[in-house]
Amino acid sequence: MWKESYRVGIETVDEQHRELFQRVSDFLQAIKENRPWEQKIDRVKETMSFMQSYVVEHFANEEVYQRKINYPAADEHHKHHEDFKADVFKYAHKMEDEDYPEELSQEFAGKLMAWLIYHVAREDQKMGEFVRKNIEVINPFVQATQDVFKQMLNLEAKKKEIVEINDLYEGKEVNALIGVVGDLTGSVMFSYSKPTALTIVKSMSGMEFEKIDVFVTSALGEVGNIISGNAVSYLASANYRCDITSPQVILGKNQSISLACKEAYVVTIGTEIGDFSLNIALNKR
């Protein structure tokens, strides 16, 4: 049953999936063997016991991992798990109450096989793709942001949340947009509230500012330019050859901004002077 195409690229998850596929495959072969049903019941009981433990332990481990990486579809994935977990326990109780009838066991086996293949081949692949994109594309920009804020402002910048968006992004009061060309194409945008924007420029200049003027927007545009340039260097180590365009600064809170990408991620970056958003919308060429 197991195919290499089912791998999601997360070692612990793939190991557990391989074990599950092997267990299910053994279960299917056992109940399809040409021998009396009474001789198969022990294998059915063994499989049901394993499945009840698996759907609790593996699903919980997978969901902890998803929260750790800020997986945007974690809630939807959790619902898939809960629905199937309910089915497993429903069948387990019914089979025990009815002394493991052959027809009900066959019914569960078919459902188990179909659900498992679909879930791993589709839903878990989405998680794997997110992890690959997170490592390859998102992390270089996060790391570059953290480096520059530490070097220029002596501030710790922490990745707090990642949200996937497929539509227009509602910008903040100051938005520094940087285009990316090459092996990856699209844009990166740094979005700041007015207080955070002014505090960042104050930290660099030692001067007080009350409004967003050309000096402030120029400084923030250049900060975005420096971060993106460093990120492109990190991307080169992953064999992505990219360049960046000159920054554009878009002003105005609640403006809807199209990132012109089928998939985009909004990364919330937290600092002691305020949070801001790092919006990454990049496609592989």
Q: Which domains does the chain have, with CATH numbers?
A: 4-132 (1.20.120.50), 155-284 (3.40.1550.10)
284 pLDDT tier (thresholds 50, 70, 90): confident
What pLDDT score was predicted for residue 262? 67
Percent of the chain residues topping a pLDDT of 70 = 96
- Going by pLDDT thresholds of 50, 70 and 90, the confidence category of residue 167 is low
Q: What average pLDDT does the structure give for the chain? A: 91
List Cα–Cα distances, 205 to 202, 208, 231, in angstroms.
Answer: 5, 8, 24
| 212-215 long-range contacts, CB within 8 A, separation 24+ | 212/173, 212/174, 212/251
Angle at 95 between CA 90 and CA 101, to 5 degrees: 145
pLDDT of res. 254: 67
Residue 263 has pLDDT above 80, yes or no: no
Beta strands 256-257 and 248-251, pairing class: unpaired
CA separation for the pair 263, 167 (Å, rounded):
8
What is the pLDDT at residue 259?
63
| Total residues belonging to the chain | 285
Is pLDDT above 90 for 165? no
Asked if residue 271 lies in contact with residue 193, where contact means CB atoms within 8 angstroms, the answer is no
Tell me if 71 sits within 8 A of 127, measured CB to CB.
yes
pLDDT of residue 260: 64
What is the tens place of the pLDDT at every residue in 12-42? 899 999 999 999 999 999 998 999 999 999 9
- Tokens 């250049």 locate to 222
Task: Report pLDDT digits (tens) over 201-259.
Answer: 999 999 999 999 999 999 999 999 999 999 999 999 888 999 999 999 999 876 677 66
State the pLDDT confidence band at 3, using cuts at 50, 70 and 90.
very high
Tens-place pLDDT, residues 173-191: 999 999 999 999 999 999 9
Amino acid identity for residue 248 in this structure: Q
Stated pTM of the model: 0.65
d(CA 60, CA 66): 10
Q: Are 2 and 21 in contact (CB under 8 A)?
A: yes
Residue 67 has pLDDT above 90, yes or no: no
Q: Which pLDDT score is estimated for 53?
A: 94
pLDDT at residue 40 in the model: 93
pLDDT at residue 92 tops 90? yes
DSSP string computed for 123-187? IHHHHHHHHHHIIIIIHHHHHHHHHHHHHHH----EEEEEEEESS-EE--SEEEEEEEEESEEEE
pLDDT at 10: 85
Write down the pLDDT at residue 99: 94
